[in-house]
Amino acid sequence: MTKRQLALGAFVNLPGHHVASWRDPKTEVRKITDLSYLTEIAQIAEQGKFDNLFFADVFGQPILENAHSGLKLDPVVIISALAAVTKHIGLTATLTTSYNDPFHVARKFAAIDHLSNGRAAWNVVTSANEREALLFGRDEHYAHAERYERANEFVEVVKKLWFSIDQEALIIDKESGRYYDLDKVTEVNHEGKFFKVKGTLDAPSTPQGHPVIVQAGSSEAGKELAAKTAEVIFTAWQTLEDAQKFYRDVKGRLAKYGRDPEDLKIMPGAFIIVAKTEEEAKAKHEQLNNYITPDVGLAYLSNYVGFDLSDYDFDGPIPDFEGQQRDRTNPNIRTNIVKGIVERKGLKTLRELYNNIAGARGHREIVGTPEQVADQLQEWFENEAADGFNIMPPTFPEGFKDIVELVIPELQRRGIFKTEYKGTTLRENLGLKRPVNPFIRSKITQ
């Protein structure tokens, strides 16, 4: 029997996860809108046998004179294009439930799952950003509880649409002229608090049954939604203890929805800077941090914690953010992350703080040799803290290449990461069950 294997995602954020990656002489920032750049990264990921390419999404970001801010292409368009130039890797795009319609979302991911032969995943999020609301005619964003209630119903409708025309409904008998088995077509007739949807999707159920559902919520409502519907959770933890607590908490919620612990893979983010020696890795990190100018560092930190720090001295003490945020509806997850980092690392000044946040953005930061990085990943993987990781390279493609060339072989040598793709779909590669069409099943058993 083979050892349990790590699930690995490559979280793509161009030109890198480090906030100052654009100033690194090796990043080609002007290429972030080029398909050739994205294709190169996808191909490196497939060489490294990554299971998944992950694209986050947030829009309406402020444009700062001295930062790479507010520039990124639509992730749905990106993964659609990458479906054509990749063969094995999963393709995850983030799409908010706050400013979309279930029909459009169901339709886009169904199409991507078909065109990629079963490699699509939807990262379900809610919009917590005031500036996103302004782009959609609202003066402020939805309150936290309402966002999650809407997300819950949204996912429910999307799943109904995905199963509205079962693949098996397609008889397509040219001779007799019969096309559909109408018993396997289930018109959606949904009337809920947020959505009223009547009709069918215009695509049959997809190669994966339906696309994989990913989520990132760590709040109480987020964890409950994940336990009910998510198949992958992307999350942010700094310490083994916190990650274990979250892992047990969420896995423990699955049974009440009739699900098994392996039906949901928990993949925390890991920001990794690797080099052959520890000194070299640390020097790379320091060099990137040196590119952060104080105005950008403070702006970045202000945005992260939701608290305006622009008038603070960056070499002065760190103020108490708790309860001070603009957005009082949002649980203080990020404030807690910051607090944890400040305490654990003994940080004193705002400059120290933003140097510790601006790379990994609150995710776990691992800087060291291939062995050191592998040790840290393995520790979480073997101690009920993670089923895998969403890897966050500091720069693309250089920092990502380093990970593929140095860390992946070390994980493979330890027998905890595959050397070849096992399945053809993302679902198969992650070891997730294929969902059954609930409408057809109930019709048959009736």
In the window 78-137, what residues touch its own copies (CB under 8 A)?
78, 80-85, 99-101, 103-104, 107-108, 110-112, 114-117, 131, 134-137
Determine the distance from the C-alpha atom of residue 295 to the mean position of all C-alpha atoms in its chain, rounded to a whole number.
28
> Which 335-394 positions form the footprint of its own copies (CB under 8 A)?
none
The residue among 372 and 424 lying less far from its own copies, judged by its C-beta, is: 424
Contact window for its own copies (CB under 8 A) among 33-41, 222-230, 234-242, 365-373: 33-41
195 near its own copies (CB under 8 A): yes
Using CB under 8 A as the binding criterion, the count of chain residues that bind its own copies stands at 76
Determine the distance from the C-alpha atom of residue 111 to the mean position of all C-alpha atoms in its chain, rounded to a whole number.
20
How far is the C-alpha of 86 from the C-alpha of 84, rounded, in Å? 6
22 near its own copies (CB under 8 A): yes
240 near its own copies (CB under 8 A): no
Q: Position of tokens 């490196």?
A: 44
- What are the φ/ψ torsions at residue 158 (nearest 5 degrees)? -60, -45
The residue among 153 and 278 lying less far from its own copies, judged by its C-beta, is: 153
Which of 361, 316, 313 is CA-nearest to residue 338? 361
> Which 138-177 positions form the footprint of its own copies (CB under 8 A)?
165, 170, 172, 174, 177
The residue among 23 and 285 lying less far from its own copies, judged by its C-beta, is: 23
289 near its own copies (CB under 8 A): no
- Which positions from 197 to 226 touch its own copies by CB under 8 A, shown as an x/- string? xxxx-xxx----------------------
- Indicate which single residue of 4, 33, 87, 348 sits in contact with its own copies (rule: CB under 8 A): 33
Token pair belonging to 379: 């520790």
Nearest-approach distance from CB 299 to its own copies, in angstroms: 12
- CB contact at 8 A, 89 and 52: yes
The residue among 21 and 429 lying less far from its own copies, judged by its C-beta, is: 21
- Indicate which single residue of 56, 73, 221, 283 sits in contact with its own copies (rule: CB under 8 A): 73
> Which 248-277 positions form the footprint of its own copies (CB under 8 A)?
none
201 torsion bin: left (phi>0), alpha (psi -120 to 50), beta (else): beta
Nearest-approach distance from CB 108 to its own copies, in angstroms: 5
**Count of residues in the chain:** 446
Contact window for its own copies (CB under 8 A) among 143-151, 190-198, 380-388, 429-437: 190-198
Residue environment code for 411-426, b if the CB has 16+ CB neighbours within 10 A, otherwise e: bbeeebbbeeeeeebb
Residue 29, number of CB atoms within 10 A of its CB = 16
The residue among 60 and 261 lying less far from its own copies, judged by its C-beta, is: 60
How far is the C-alpha of 267 from the C-alpha of 381, rounded, in Å? 10
- What are the φ/ψ torsions at residue 90 (nearest 5 degrees)? -70, 155
Nearest-approach distance from CB 410 to its own copies, in angstroms: 32
56 near its own copies (CB under 8 A): no
Query: How much of the chain is helix, strand and coil, in % rounded to 5?
Result: 45, 15, 40
310 near its own copies (CB under 8 A): no
Token pair belonging to 109: 């991911």
**For the residues of 63-127, what is the DSSP string, one character each?**
--TTS--S----HHHHHHHHHTT-SS-EEEEEEESTTS-HHHHHHHHHHHHHHTTS-EEEEEE--
The residue among 20 and 266 lying less far from its own copies, judged by its C-beta, is: 20
Token pair belonging to 418: 């595959």
Which of 72, 154, 97, 4 is CA-nearest to residue 396? 72
25 near its own copies (CB under 8 A): yes
39 near its own copies (CB under 8 A): yes
Q: What is the DSSP letter of 212?
A: E
- Indicate which single residue of 3, 47, 140, 180 sits in contact with its own copies (rule: CB under 8 A): 180
290 near its own copies (CB under 8 A): no
The residue among 116 and 425 lying less far from its own copies, judged by its C-beta, is: 116
- Indicate which single residue of 40, 43, 56, 69 sits in contact with its own copies (rule: CB under 8 A): 69
35 near its own copies (CB under 8 A): yes
